[in-house]
């Protein structure tokens, strides 16, 4: 039997998903060829903004030539399909290539809409759609001081983040009266604007650009309809997308009134044997601009070609949760008041900058929609309530109130979800699919990902998928193991207890006591961290050096070009003029990139391995110590100037911050830890966003715990109020060591607190009331650790034997001559791969 020949026009995320599905169905029945206008195969556009934080095109790739060749998939790059011959079932490309098909799939996606503004086609005017676009934006950023994004929607804010990462003054210009007008209501849009402006980004709403002309102080001047103007050096258009239906229009395939290739529930177009999927497709007069609906269409089209007429595309949920410019934003369901009789509950905390709105049905029993800005912790629970049409609790407001318990408040956990509940929308994985995978023998997240592909797309469902997996394993009578790896049948907490109780001080000793084999890249750094947390011995001792990861091994953070960062400690952010001069002289001597960090200290980048001891000798001689930026340890204690200088200050935040940083410096823990100390409730040190946060009041210090920034920002919980300095030290000693004892490997304090049964109330019982009768032990362990502190770089530069490891080649003292740099804003940066070398330093 001859194979059915399928031509896929477009090799974006959705086109590749279709091909992947065909391979999974039975690629031996099909001959597949795909065309891409771009020079590369499918890559992850959802993660495109990470290109500016170090990810390469290879990192973003969803497939490669080897995978396609292994599965018999033919592909053509850099060639656009420009015509279709339906009578002979052929596609014709721009290069003149002709390929026949039995089935044709149009996965042409969308293109960025550029408003018809005079001057929109100049050299430093860009769109934000492909990796090539991002490379062009990066090149413009090297010679620009100011950048503007036209468009305040999802992609516009991502483009704004790109400009921020490029280090240019960033402006966002939006025609509508609020940002993210489609997803957010007025309250959510207003708070998002405020939070973005707090980051130093300028937001201009209700602005219509009439022309782009030459500027006086910058390259361009944008003139607005209201008579105002804005000057800038570069412009990114991100004012929405339009379906890429040019090929369908040209060949007579039915198109919607406002564009888009019309499809039915099987994703068939108006022409026989021609399908359309993704952002080019119009279903029920609706274009779906998210990847998950496109994946569903790909699955439906593949099923229909395979003879399955029961699987249909019947629409998709457009709820979104994402981080824009570091700000968590989520939207679920209908939020613009279009549901008759709908009521809403609103929680708005202007101090914490959190906005939540829950829209419910007229009778208050079902959820209609929700908007979350600044705190999206409730997203998973709310989304499941909406998707599964579940009944709301008696008082729905508890779902959005702080510390409401989320799932507990709703009277639901993963066990209460129906089997049809969508856990992973990217790959259409339901709770029932996970149950079936477990029943078939799947026992770990790795196996679950391989079996169902859940949590392998955007990754947003990872936590929920893990909860369902563990719940199903437990219901079948399996013990849900937390073994750290195959060499130790123990969790990190259990290993920490063994090390502490039996006073084991080496990895080999622990292996002999309770492990097997030689260890691996998981257990070695974890055990090294545990040993350092309790005994605080020099990490490069012969017994410990083989356990460390790259950063600890060389006492510096390795950067993407193979150089290292140098981060001297500046307790509380305080540094003398002589100290600043010394840092400046060292940075100048070694041509290091310098940056003041959010942790209130100076980082130096671009040091080669052989330079590290020389640089640190000079820093130590100047009175500096290692800042432990390379370790899972205390990083910084950020402070404001408190009552030392500020007219609003209540207490001496600088002095106390320095005291705390000197007390806990070098202390290893399951993850990095940061402190913040604010001298008054104006919170200039952002203490509530740190692992440990202190805010001064007239009555003493308010202690917060469990906050963090990162990918999932969280404000800390108030642990105790009106504390003395000594009470703060005592409570922090106890909490810190209790966290070290019981947290999982690489678990932040925020996640540890959330997973701690009883939460902050239980922690108060343990720490304040000594309910476990362990406080004396915790305090003793902390004092022992503090007594054993040493500056690891000072110890290293005093040991000729240890200095031997800091060279690029075993048999030579030569430097790494393969490094290349470019000069931007007067400092050197690592040269990106595949960029033409224009200036070397």
CA–CA distance, 810 with 85 (Å, rounded to integer): 64
Q: Please give the Cα distance from 362 to 222 (Å, whole number).
A: 46
Q: Give the ranges where 443-576 is alpha helix by DSSP (H).
A: 445-452, 462-475, 492-502, 507-514, 523-535, 542-545, 550-553
Can you tell me the mean pLDDT for 560-573? Answer: 86
Listed range (270-284, 352-366, 419-433, 674-688) with the worst mean pLDDT: 419-433
The predicted model gives 821-825 an average pLDDT of 80
**What b-and-e string marks burial along 672-685, b requiring 16 or more CB atoms within 10 Å of the CB?**
bbbbbbbbbeebbb
pLDDT at residue 554 tops 70 = yes
Q: Let me know: does 713 contact 689? Beta carbons within 8 Å.
A: yes
Where are the domain boundaries for CATH 3.90.480.10 in the chain? 557-626+809-841
Instruction: Using a pLDDT cut of 70, give the percent of the chain over it.
Output: 93
pLDDT band for position 817 (50/70/90)?
A: low
Do residues 693 and 657 lie in contact, with contact meaning Cβ atoms separated by under 8 Å?
no
Q: How crowded is residue 713: how many other Cβ atoms within 10 Å of its Cβ?
A: 17
Residue 728 above 90 pLDDT?
Answer: yes
For residue 834, the model assigns a pLDDT of: 43
For 229, counting Cβ atoms within 10 Å of its Cβ (0-12 exposed, 13-18 middle, 19+ buried), the class is: middle
Task: Give the Cα separation of 270 and 86 in Å (integer).
Answer: 12
| CA dist 784 → 38, 286, 507, 528 (Å) | 60, 65, 20, 17
How far are the Cα atoms of 214, 315, 333, 464, 560 from residue 417, in angstroms, in the given order? 59, 21, 19, 11, 43
Token digits of residue 399? 């779902």
Tokens 């919607």 correspond to what residue? 256
pLDDT computed for residue 9 by the predictor: 97
Listed in order, the ranges of the chain carrying CATH 1.10.10.1100 are 420-480
Q: Which 8-state DSSP code applies to residue 391? A: P
Q: What is the DSSP letter of 246?
A: H
Question: What is the model's pLDDT at position 248?
Answer: 96
According to DSSP, the residues that pair with 121 across neighbouring strands are: none
Query: How is residue 694 annotated by DSSP?
Result: E
156-165, 456-465, 741-750: range with lowest mean pLDDT: 456-465
pLDDT at position 408 over 70: no
State how far the Cα of 823 lies from the Cα of 290, in Å rounded to an integer: 38
The CATH code of the domain at 125-239 is: 3.50.50.60
Quick check: 629 and 610 in contact, CB under 8 A?
no
Q: Is 574 exposed, middle or buried (0-12, 13-18, 19+ CB in 10 A)?
A: middle
Asked if residue 107 has pLDDT above 80, the reply is: yes
What Cα–Cα distance (Å) separates residue 80 from each residue in 34, 35, 54, 93, 251? 11, 7, 30, 5, 15
* CA pair distance 5, 90, nearest whole angstrom: 11
Task: Reply yes or no on whether the pLDDT at 699 is more than 80.
Answer: yes
Q: Could you tell me where in the chain the CATH 3.50.50.60 domains are found? A: 4-111+243-305, 125-239
pLDDT higher than threshold 60 for residue 321:
yes
Q: What is the torsional sign of CA 759, 762, 767, 773?
A: negative
Q: Where in the chain is the domain with CATH 3.30.413.10?
A: 632-787
Other C-beta atoms closer than 10 Å to the C-beta of 183 total 22
Q: Is the dihedral of CA 10, 12, 13, 17 positive or negative?
A: positive
- In the predicted model, is pLDDT for residue 148 greater than 70? yes
Selection from 740, 733, 705 nearest residue 720 by Cα: 705
CA distances from 554 to 557, 564, 605, 629, 806 (A): 8, 9, 14, 12, 7
- The SS3 call for residue 728 is helix
Determine contact, residues 402/408, Cβ cutoff 8 Å.
no
Half-sphere exposure for 794 (CA within 13 Å, toward CB) = 13
Decide: helix, strand or coil at residue 303: helix
The per-residue pLDDT for range 765-787, each reduced to its tens digit, is 999 999 999 999 999 999 999 99
Distance CA 312, CA 50 (A): 34
Question: Who has greater pLDDT, 754 or 229?
Answer: 229
Give the whole-angstrom CA distance, residue 644 versus residue 651: 8
User: What is the assigned CATH class of domain 557-626+809-841?
Assistant: alpha beta
Percentage of the chain with pLDDT > 90?
A: 48
134/112 Cα distance (integer angstroms): 13
Calpha distance 684→289 (Å, rounded)? 39
- pLDDT (0 to 100) of residue 626: 92
Radius of gyration of the chain from its Cα atoms, rounded to whole angstroms: 29
The confidence band for 409, taking pLDDT boundaries of 50, 70 and 90, is very low
Residues β-bridged to residue 100 = 90
**CA-CA distance, 423 to 413, in Å (whole number)?**
13
Q: How confident is the model at residue 836 (pLDDT cuts 50, 70, 90)?
A: very low
For 199, the token pair is: 């980051």
pLDDT at 840: 32
Distance CA 274, CA 304 (A): 12
Q: What are phi and psi of 212, to 5 degrees?
A: -120, 115
Asked if pLDDT for residue 404 goes beyond 50, the answer is no
Tell me the fold of 420-480.
Answer: Arc Repressor Mutant, subunit A (1.10.10)
* Domain 632-787, CATH number (from 3.40.50.170, 3.30.390.30, 1.10.10.1100, 3.30.413.10): 3.30.413.10
State residue 385's pLDDT score. 85
Quick one: three-class SS letters along 574-597? CCCHHHHHHHHHHHHHCCCEEEEC
Question: For the stretch 36-68, what's the b/e string if a residue is b when 16 or more beta carbons lie within 10 angstroms of its beta carbon?
Answer: bbbebbbbbbbebbebbeeeebeebebbeeebb
Mapping DSSP to helix (H, G, I), strand (E, B) and coil, where does residue 569 land?
coil
3-state SS record for 199-215? CCCEEEECCCEEEEEEC
Per-residue pLDDT of 509-529, as tens digits, reads 999 999 888 888 778 888 988
Cα gap 644→642, rounded to integer Å: 5
CA distance 730 to 782: 10
Rounded Cα gap, residues 135 and 40, in angstroms: 14
Instruction: Give 512's contacts (C-beta < 8 A, 6+ positions apart).
Output: none
Give the whole-angstrom CA distance, residue 387 versus residue 292: 14
pLDDT, tens digit, 9 for 90 and up, residues 624-636? 999 998 888 999 9
CA distance 284 to 257: 12
Comparing 238 with 809, which gets the higher pLDDT? 238
**CATH class in words for 4-111+243-305:** alpha beta
Cα diameter, the chain? 86
Q: What is the pLDDT of residue 123?
A: 94
Residue 555 has pLDDT above 80, yes or no: yes
pLDDT-based confidence at 841, cuts 50/70/90? very low
Lowest-pLDDT range of 400-414, 554-568, 639-653:
400-414
SS3 88: coil
pLDDT at 411: 46
CB neighbours of 737 closer than 8 A, spacing ≥ 6?
Answer: 778, 779, 781, 782
Cβ neighbours around 116 below 10 Å, total: 6
709 is written with which tokens? 């920034």
Nearest alpha-carbon partner for 133 in 150, 115, 112, 106: 112
The model's pLDDT over 660-688, given as tens digits with 9 standing for 90+, comes to 999 999 999 999 999 999 999 889 999 99
Mean per-residue pLDDT of the chain: 87
Q: What is the pTM of this model?
A: 0.55
Residue 136 sits at φ, ψ, to 5 deg, of -65, -40
Tracing tokens 């981080």 back to the chain, one arrives at 323
Q: Are 595 and 605 in contact (CB under 8 A)?
A: yes
Considering only residues 325 and 460, tell me which one the structure prediction assigns the higher pLDDT: 325
For residues 392 and 126, what is the distance between their CA atoms, to the nearest angstrom?
A: 46
The answer to whether 745 and 488 are in contact (CB under 8 A) is no
The pLDDT assigned to 809 comes to 56
Q: Which residues contact 757 (CB under 8 A, 6 or more apart)?
A: none
What SS3 class is residue 605? strand
């Amino acid at each position: 039997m001859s194979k059915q020949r399928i031509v896929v026009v477009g090799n974006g995320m959705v086109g590749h998903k279709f091909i992947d599905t065909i391979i999974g169905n039975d690629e031996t029945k099909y001959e597949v060829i795909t065309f891409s206008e771009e020079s590369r195969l499918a890559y992850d556009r959802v993660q495109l903004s990470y290109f500016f934080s170090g990810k390469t095109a290879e990192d973003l790739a969803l497939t490669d030539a080897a995978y396609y060749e292994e599965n018999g998939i033919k592909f053509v790059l850099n060639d656009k399909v420009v015509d279709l011959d339906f009578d002979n079932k052929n596609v014709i490309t721009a290069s003149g290539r002709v390929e026949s098909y039995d089935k044709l799939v149009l996965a042409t996606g969308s293109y960025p809409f550029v408003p018809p503004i005079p001057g929109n086609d100049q050299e430093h005017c860009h769109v934000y759609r492909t990796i090539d676009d991002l490379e062009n934006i990066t090149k413009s950023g090297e010679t620009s001081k100011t950048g503007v994004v036209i468009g305040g929607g999802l992609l516009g804010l991502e483009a704004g983040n790109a400009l921020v990462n490029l280090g240019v003054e960033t402006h966002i210009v939006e025609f509508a009266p609020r940002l993210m007008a489609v997803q957010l209501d007025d309250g959510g849009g207003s708070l998002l604007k405020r939070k973005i402006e707090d980051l130093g980004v300028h937001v201009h709403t209700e602005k219509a650009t009439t022309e782009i002309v030459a500027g006086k102080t910058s390259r361009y001047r944008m003139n607005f309809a209201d008579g105002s103007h804005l000057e800038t050096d570069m412009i990114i258009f991100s004012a929405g997308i339009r379906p890429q239906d040019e090929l369908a229009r040209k060949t007579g395939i039915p198109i919607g009134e406002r564009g888009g290739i019309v499809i039915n529930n099987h994703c068939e177009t108006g022409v026989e044997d021609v399908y359309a999927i993704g952002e080019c497709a119009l279903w029920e007069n609706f274009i779906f601009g998210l990847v998950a609906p496109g994946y569903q269409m790909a699955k439906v089209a593949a099923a229909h070609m395979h003879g399955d007429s029961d699987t249909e595309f019947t629409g998709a949920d457009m709820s979104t949760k994402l981080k824009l410019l570091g700000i968590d934003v989520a939207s679920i369901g209908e939020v613009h008041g279009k549901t008759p009789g709908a009521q809403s509950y609103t929680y708005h905390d202007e101090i914490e900058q959190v906005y939540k709105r829950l829209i419910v049905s007229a009778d208050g029993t079902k959820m209609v929609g929700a908007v979350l800005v600044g705190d999206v912790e409730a997203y998973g629970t709310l989304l499941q309530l909406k998707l599964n049409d579940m009944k709301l609790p008696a008082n729905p407001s508890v779902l959005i109130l702080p510390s409401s318990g989320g799932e507990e408040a709703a009277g639901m956990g993963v066990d209460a979800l129906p089997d049809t509940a969508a856990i992973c929308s990217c790959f259409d994985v339901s709770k029932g699919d996970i149950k079936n995978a477990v029943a078939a023998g799947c026992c770990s997240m790795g196996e679950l990902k391989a079996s169902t592909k859940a949590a392998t797309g955007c990754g947003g469902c990872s936590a929920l998928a893990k909860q369902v997996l563990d719940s199903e394993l437990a219901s079948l009578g399996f013990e849900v193991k937390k073994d750290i790896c195959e060499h130790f049948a123990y969790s990190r907490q259990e290993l920490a207890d063994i090390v502490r109780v039996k006073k084991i001080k080496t990895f080999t000793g622990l292996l002999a006591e309770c492990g097997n084999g030689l260890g691996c890249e998981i257990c070695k750094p974890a055990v090294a961290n545990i040993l350092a947390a309790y005994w605080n011995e020099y990490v490069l001792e012969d017994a410990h050096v083989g356990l460390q990861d790259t950063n600890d091994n060389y006492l510096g953070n390795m950067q993407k070009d193979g150089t290292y960062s140098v981060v001297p400690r500046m307790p509380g952010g305080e540094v003398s003029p002589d100290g600043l001069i010394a840092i400046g002289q060292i940075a100048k001597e070694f041509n290091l990139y310098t940056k003041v960090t959010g942790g209130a200290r100076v980082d130096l980048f671009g040091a080669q391995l052989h330079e590290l001891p020389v640089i640190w000798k000079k820093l130590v001689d100047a009175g500096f110590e290692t800042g432990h930026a390379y370790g899972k340890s205390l990083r910084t204690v950020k402070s404001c100037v408190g009552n030392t200088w500020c007219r609003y200050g209540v207490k001496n935040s600088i002095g106390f911050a320095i005291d705390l940083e000197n007390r806990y410096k070098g202390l290893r823990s399951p993850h990095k830890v940061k402190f913040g100390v604010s001298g008054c409730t104006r919170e200039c040190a952002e203490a509530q966003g740190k692992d440990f946060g202190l805010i001064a009041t007239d009555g003493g210090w308010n202690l917060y715990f469990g906050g963090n920034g990162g990918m999932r920002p969280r404000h800390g919980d108030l642990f105790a109020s009106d504390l003395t300095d000594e009470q703060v030290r005592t409570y922090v000693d106890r909490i810190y060591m209790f966290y070290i004892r019981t947290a999982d490997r690489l678990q932040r304090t925020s996640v540890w607190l959330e997973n701690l049964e009883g939460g902050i109330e239980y922690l108060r019982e343990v720490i304040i009331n000594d309910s476990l009768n362990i406080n004396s032990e915790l305090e003793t362990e902390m004092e022992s650790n503090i007594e054993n502190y040493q500056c690891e770089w000072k110890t290293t530069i005093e040991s000729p034997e240890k200095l031997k490891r800091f060279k690029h080649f075993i048999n030579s003292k030569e430097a790494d001559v393969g490094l290349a740099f470019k000069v931007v804003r007067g400092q050197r940066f690592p040269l990106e791969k595949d960029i033409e070398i224009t200036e070397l330093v």
